[in-house]
Amino acid sequence: MSVDRLNKRLRTIIILWLVFMGLTALSWLVLSAWRTAMGGLLLGELGGLYVVFSMFRQGHHNDDAQGAILMASGMAGMFTRLIMIVAIMVISLKFRTIFNPYTALIGYLLGFVFVFAGLYSFARGPISKEK
């Protein structure tokens, strides 16, 4: 696996995520009847942006982290992502007139979907053309 190829794929995922957030913000402005649902989705996507950045930043693709350090890094990332979803849900439940909690949860989970879908073919490795 090439580190340059991986970095290019990570940049592509981040750009696509930001474009998706921009489209959600645009729909929040245009679709006034769905403003609460779009507000929740946008709130969740902001948390999903943290998911995307935290998973890439803590990915250790440029160093040789192994063992306990790698395990501690993964646990810290999981813990901060858990804190983020709790904060998003508390905010969306506290301000139900502005944010829909269900769409906020969907927006947050879309961050994981983008990471998984973006790295799936990369993780499978090159497809052999041999018969």
Query: Structural domain boundaries of the chain?
Result: 3-124
First-to-final CA distance of the chain: 22
Q: Residue length, the chain?
A: 131
Q: How far apart are CA 48 and CA 23, in angstroms?
A: 15
Predicted pLDDT of residue 45: 93
d(CA 92, CA 109): 15
d(CA 49, CA 17): 7
pLDDT value of residue 58: 59
Cα–Cα nearest to 23, from 84, 109, 110, 96: 110
Walk along the chain (131 residues) and give the pLDDT tens digit of each residue.
577 777 788 888 889 989 999 999 999 999 888 999 999 999 999 998 888 888 777 555 556 656 676 667 677 778 888 999 999 999 999 999 999 999 999 999 998 898 888 888 777 776 544 44
- Residue whose pair of structure tokens reads 């969306």 in the numeric block: 92
